Amino acid sequence: MGDLGGLIETHKLKLPWRISEKEFQKFKELNSSFNPKYINHHCIEVPEETSIDLSPLLPLLPIHISNNSPTFAKSKPELIKFNDNLNIETLNSSLINIKTTSDLSTRQNGELCSQLRNWTFENGLIGPNDSSSKFHLVGPNTDGKFGPDAAYFPLQQHMNIDIETRKNNTIPIAPSFVIENRSYSPGPNNERQYQMDKMCMWIECGSESGLLIDGKSRMVDLYCRTNLLHPQVGQPNLYVHPQAQLQIQQTQQQIAQLQNRILGSQQSLLITPVGTEGHQDILNSIQTKQDQLNILINFNHIYFDSMRVVPNHPGVCHVSVPFWPPNQIIALLQHGPNLIIHCIGDVHGFKLDLSSYPMD
């Protein structure tokens, strides 16, 4: 790996076919936004988190589409297999993007996927996918293979895909739920607007809902299909998911239940002799319930409500929430905010806790 221009991390991209210096020069002219390096006839150096148009380097194969123009369909999969050490996403006929694999981003991805995996295990559901899985998305101006940092789709959809495809190939459908974690790379494809547009792409290509966790800008963004939402009462330009209203009620009920249980335990404590095993058990029980109550009361709970239609994407609704209030001073930034996101749809019941999201 290198550092192109002292800013963006670069990677050596190996080519399973021979390229000439003349072909590389055409490639360089086409990708004038960055300065690739020619290593040899089978290797070039390119930046991560950048749209890279490989068309001058891809061999034309004797396969034709309806307009009789040559296609690169077979060569990109070979390229990706040849560079299995890199996390490569593809878009349309010749564009690729190399996702960053930095230390902090990798630990953040692991935490996000771990929480989703624990929830699926506790509920007897099929496990989630991580960024090593690729989904083939087809939608408006989109035909590519992408790997979200965490994703989930239910068992029935898994079973509709034959076992050999699940073992060896890109998943041919969009997941119902995705999490993208914005890295700290200065690459253009890691800019906030690009990442937000990418979330719209997931929804428009079939995902029900998704989260963009943006530690760089200290924001979390919720996305959902517009046709799954209802207008909020008295606020026709804002939308809410029907499950969100239930989740808000459940949170309030849990607070009341815990308060009543703590009160009951405190009363039992008065009639239980000090120093006995039963006395300590009640103290432990009170502490556990108090910890649970503190999370419910002191954490910021985020729901799929107060969402607006994304401009130029009528089928997608979105809301942004800051990690912390603008006036809150964070002395030592080690972990994310005391913020819980209540998810909906096929992951209704999953609560993503950002307080354990690594920030250093």
Q: Is residue 9 part of a domain?
A: yes
Q: Over range 259-277, report the average pLDDT.
A: 91
| Backbone φ, ψ for residue 315 (5° rounding) | -90, 5
Instruction: Find residue 313's DSSP bridge partners.
Output: 310
* Confidence class for position 3, pLDDT limits 50, 70, 90: very low
Last residue of a domain, one of 81, 98, 115: 98
Last residue of a domain, one of 98, 124, 143: 98
Same domain, 263 and 167: no
Whole-angstrom distance, CA of residue 213 vs CA of residue 220:
5
* Confidence class for position 77, pLDDT limits 50, 70, 90: confident
Q: Over range 81-94, report the average pLDDT.
A: 92
Q: pLDDT tens, 160-179?
A: 999 888 887 789 999 999 99
Nearest to 224 by CA among 313, 145, 112: 313
Same domain, 310 and 174: yes
Q: Is residue 237 part of a domain?
A: no
**Residues 319 and 308: beta-carbon distance below 8 Å:** yes
Domain enclosing residue 335, as ranges: 103-232+303-356
Same domain, 148 and 255: no
Q: Over range 268-278, report the average pLDDT.
A: 89
Please give the tally of structural domains in the chain.
Answer: 3
Whole-angstrom distance, CA of residue 69 vs CA of residue 231:
47
Whole-angstrom distance, CA of residue 285 vs CA of residue 276:
15
Compute and round to an integer the Cα radius of gyration of the chain.
24
Last residue of a domain, one of 98, 123, 150: 98
Same domain, 87 and 123: no
